[in-house]
Structure 1
Amino acid sequence: MTFKYIELFAGIGGFRSALDGLGGGCVFASEIDKYASQAYKALYNGAQELHGDITKIDAHNIPDHDVLVGGFPCQAFSVAGQRKGFEDARGTLFFEIARIASAKQPRLMLLENVKGLLSHDGGKTFETMCVILHDIGYAIDFRVLNSKHFGVPQNRERIFLACDRNAEHAEWDVTGSDVVARAKRRVRALGIRTFNFDWPENGEVTTRLRDVLEMQVDEKYYLSEEKTAKLIAQLEERGIETNVDGDGCAMVGRVNISGYDQRKRVYSPDGLCPTPSGLGASGNEPKIVETTVIAGSLEHYGNDQMNRVYSVDGLAPTITVVSGGGREQKIAEPYTVFQKTTSWTTTVKYDETGTLQAARLDKVPQVVTPRYRIRKLTPRECWRLQGFTDAQHDAVMNAGISDSQRYKQAGNAVTVNVIRAVGKPLVKRLKQTESSETGNRSTSEMEAV
């Protein structure tokens, strides 16, 4: 252990999963949710350091620590903007962070919240928070980071606030007019202590939703035929196509492409996943479309591999029992349909080897058409989107935590990859201070001699 930290509003330990790998040791954690606490204990060897409601814990009973971290719930300040400093936070969960930091004075803090916090109540809520942090002795810096730049295929923007008790004041060089730039100009005008944190740069978006999908999925995650047919009908009314928005979330069709009715949205595996927030309620899980090309009238799913026909655009299934008798895997290639000026249609069909199979006149063209299946993302896939390992997810699943709770836990977590990226310069700053303090002590001791 190279540094000690505490994790408030711990959830399933997104901060912990990253900081433990950077040399951190958790000496105290707090979480009020029954199922999240159960999951936390399953993940971290029983987590004897985990406690309950932080509002009922005396700050002086919390162990000394170097770093305080937490993704606190976003509660509106009832009197935000009145500039009453520390008093403004009373009645909110942010007050618990300020209360503990004021008493324990950890060297650093890293806090996370939704991007909308910057503009809540015209920016007054966030400005009040910054004033409070200044009043209890911290310099601050903040930035919005998106999970999609850190190796997970999820468009998830969050505000991160770094606080340093020992940092010298440094002016921000603010450019642009986005929500962060506007907030920095407002905060700068308050005359509080600021510094420039070494934030990680946005990396290239290298992963897509398909990269975290499970190869085999239980049928319970697929929509019923009735619901699937209804959604597909809506998609076909608008033309089945993939629409990639500015954030890289590839949506199939144009069903409710605007607004927040995610229950009716269907996403393509070729894009990014939207933020999996608000999970836990049935039907709110992000849905994806799987395309299976079916030849003729064959519509076989499940384990009937003898009758399955696969698309050449995908992967072959496991090659098993290939001793003949019709059990070999089959593929389908769309055959060409030529329309004549008469009411008759010439249909030419080829088999998988390219050999002419049939040529006939028919009033109704016989074509190979795509068949769509729509399913929810699985809990494991949602945990992958947040940077947790399969072993972590499975440990919680095996502890008896339900699907709905594991969905909720993923949606409420911080993205481990992002915390790891931010944690590296945080730990570096902590080590630099320790080296400086060690050097100063040595100089003082020599002078004393």
Structure 2
Amino acid sequence: MENEIKVVELFAGVGGFRLGLEGWNGKSASSGYKKSLKSPYKVVWSNQWEPSTKTQHASLVYENRFGKNRHSNEDIAQVDVSKIPDHDLLVGGFPCQDYSVATTLKNSKGLIGKKGVLWWSIHKIISEKKNKPKYLFLENVDRLLISPSGQRGRDFAIILQSLNELGYAVEWRVINAADFGMPQRRRRIFILAYLKGTNIYESIKEVAPTEWILEDGTLAEAFPVTSENTLFPTEFKLKGDIVSISENFNKGGTTGLFENTGLMINGLVTTLKTQPNYDGKFTILRDLIQNGEVTSEFYIDKNDLDKWAYLKGPKKEMRTNAQGFEYNYSEGGMIFPDPLDKPSRTIITGEGGKSPSRFKHVIQTPKGYRRLSPVELERLNMFPDDHTKLEGVSDTKRAFFMGNALVVGVIEKIGIALNQKITNEVTLQSER
């Protein structure tokens, strides 16, 4: 294809980035895979590796859907960078267990954690590539902006300064997919970076930072926003190298410096809080429910309903810890069952399995209360039906995949906006 954009997909999981950029069988996620998506993106190499796992289920699903050609199932930290083909765009939702809602901030190890260290695999590829990728498109949990608890925002500052030293300008946005009509309330930070020398980088230099953030930027075009603080954004310069930032950034700070939207170029950070500006159609949970196609194993036994109701309900009670000490425990209640007239709650990795849980989705149907099926979980992330279905892969594992996945429609919209920027860049270059 003319003007093909070559993509390397890291930490590929079951292929969410690829589906968003390439589509599936030529169809787009935003149309439920019914309408054509003319995509210039082509994944030329991918990697998926789950440490401490004998059977690499996610990689097997990926290979089943996209083929084994140019797919790597080995520890990315051990991959010889020279074996990775040159590419225009590097993408990936780099592992973020240390920052996720499943771990408290006090226990967060940030970038030096077991999984967080994989950021340095991205850094290594960019550093060692003679022909650096012109663009980066990354995803993480929004807690990255305030991690770790003792130096709020240090980890994100390290990422920004790392990319600054490598010659990139960076824009970011925390996006809740449901705010823009998608079926799941899933908040994630999306990071785009542009290499010095590209027309996009030069375009950023020519406008005021807030103008790029709110109007001209790739993320602004994909997901429009407004802000009440355009005259007084937070601005500061990243000082020192990444070692200095690691040791000193916001040391002892009780609040973070990064807002949900921002831009960094030449070490200057501009950040402000924005709100979604969307007036289109919203997708609700009822829209995606299977009718008469769910097997009995997903229905909850009436004798177990009280247990489910207790776990999801409010609590204020005395408990005893492992050392025998009593303490007061309290937590708020959750809506039970999950409402069908709203977008779903965030899918978590523990969504699968029959055991009662506070966090699993439960809906009420004419046949009774039940958990969500693997297909319904796939739909909430805008994957094709049965994308993760494969012999040897359990329903619990399929639910785990969706808890780790991203909302494909977000990737698709950002990919379209990025392609428009790149296409304009190619046009300008050809006119010179």
**Is this a same-fold pair by TM over 0.5?**
yes
Task: Look up the SS of the partner of 1:143 in the other structure.
Answer: strand
Report how far residue 153 of structure 1 moved.
Answer: 1.7
Could you say if the C-alpha distance between residues 201 and 44 of structure 1 is closer, same or farther in structure 2, counting changes exceeding 3 Å?
Answer: farther
* 1:212 has 2:288 as partner: yes
Deviation at 1:150, TM superposition (A): 4.2
CA distance in 2: counterparts of 1:258 and 1:35, whole angstroms? 36
The TM-score, its normalising length taken from structure 2, stands at 0.67
Q: Which amino acid aligns with 1:209?
A: L
**Who is 2:80 aligned against?**
58
Q: 1:73 aligns with which of 91, 95, 103?
A: 95
Match of residue 119 from structure 1? 146
Q: Deviations over 1:7-54 (max 9, x none)?
A: 000001101001113221111111113110011011113444334211
2:190 aligns with one of 157, 160, 169: 160
Conserved 8 A contact 1:75-1:92: no
For residue 288 of structure 1, what is the aligned residue in structure 2? Answer: 362
Which residue does 2:403 correspond to in 1?
Answer: 411
1:279 Cα deviation from its structure 2 partner: 2.7
| SS of match in other structure, 2:117 | coil
Matches within 5 A, 1:141-180: 141-165=171-195, 166=198, 167-168=201-202, 169=205, 170-173=207-210, 175-176=227-228
Who is 1:49 aligned against?
71
CA contact (8 A) 1:110 1:162 kept: yes
Work out the CA distance in 1 between the residues paired with 2:331 and 2:170. Answer: 38
Structure 1 unaligned spans of 5+: 78-85, 239-255, 293-300, 302-372, 441-449
Contact 1:149–1:205 (CA<8 Å) still a contact in 2?
Answer: no
Name the CA shift for 1:48/1:129 in 2 (closer, same or farther; >3 Å): closer
CA distance in 2, matches of 1:87, 1:230: 39
CA shift in 2, pair 1:176/1:13, >3 Å: same
Contact 1:280 1:405 in 2 (8 A): no
Larger mean CA deviation between 129-138 and 49-58 belongs to 49-58
Identity of aligned residues (%): 30
Output the CA distance in 2 between the equivalents of 1:159 and 1:129. Answer: 13
The residue number in structure 2 matching 1:31 is 48
Contact 1:143 1:159 in 2 (8 A): yes
Offset, 1:87: 11
**CA 1:90/1:387 → structure 2, altered by over 3 Å: closer, same or farther?**
closer
The 1-side partners of 2:361 and 2:260 are apart by 40
Q: Residue 11 of structure 2 aligns with which residue?
A: 9
Structure 1 126/374 Cα, relative in aligned 2: closer, same or farther at 3 Å?
same
1:223-259 superposed Cα distances (whole Å, 9 cap, x missing partner):
1221124445899999xxxxxxxxxxxxxxxxx9837
Structure 2 distance, partners of 1:412, 1:429, is 29
How far, CA to CA, are the matches of 1:382 and 1:375 in structure 2?
Answer: 13
Alignment CA distance shift 1:289-1:49 (3 Å):
closer
Q: Tell me if the contact between 1:76 and 1:125 (Cα under 8 Å) persists in the aligned partners.
A: no
Return the alpha-carbon distance in structure 2 between the equivalents of residues 53 and 145 of structure 1. Answer: 29
1:106 aligns with 133
What is the CA RMSD across the aligned residues, in angstroms?
Answer: 3.7
User: Is the 1:7–1:26 Cα contact (8 Å) retained in structure 2?
Assistant: yes
Name stretches of at least 5 consecutive residues in structure 2 with no aligned partner: 24-38, 51-55, 100-110, 214-226, 235-256, 316-329
1:266 and 1:286 in contact (8 A); partners too: no
Residue 273 of structure 1, CA deviation: 1.1
Answer yes or no: is the 8 Å Cα contact 1:214–1:381 preserved in 2.
yes
Task: Identify the residue that residue 388 of structure 1 maps to in structure 2.
Answer: 383
Q: Which residue of 2 aligns with 1:397?
A: 389
Shift of 1:204: 3.4
Name the structure 2 match of 1:18. 20
Q: Deviations over 1:139-185 (max 9, x none)?
A: 0111111111444321011100110112023542275579x975159
| Distance change >3 Å, CA 162–CA 286, structure 1 → 2 | same
Partners of 1:54 and 1:100 lie apart in 2 by 10
How many pairs align? 327
Secondary structure at the aligned position of 1:6 is classed as: strand
Query: Which of 1 and 2 has greater Rg?
Result: 1
Which residue does the alignment assign to 2:430? 438
Per-residue CA distance 1:267-309 (angstroms, 9 max, x = gap): 12122211102235634563333254xxxxxxxx6xxxxxxxx
Displacement after TM superposition at 1:429 (Å): 1.8
Residue 201 of structure 1: CA displacement?
5.7
Counterpart amino acid of 2:384? Answer: T
Cα distance in 1 for partners of 2:114, 2:306 equals 50
* SS in structure 2 of the partner of residue 159 of structure 1: strand
Aligned ranges 1:334-349 → 2 under 5 Å: none
**Higher relative contact order (CA closer than 8 Å, sequence separation 6+):** 2
TM-score by length of 1: 0.64
Change in 2 beyond 3 A, CA 1:71/1:135 = same
| Partners of 2:7 and 2:90 within 8 A in 1 | yes
Q: Are the equivalent residues in 2 in contact too, given 1:148–1:205 (CA < 8 A)?
A: no
- Aligned with 2:49: secondary structure? coil
Q: Distance in 2 between matches of 1:208 and 1:48?
A: 38
CA distance in 2, matches of 1:13, 1:72: 13
> Which residue among 332, 335, 342 is the counterpart of 1:258?
332
- The corresponding residue for 1:275 is 346
> Which residue of 1 is the match for residue 238 of structure 2?
none
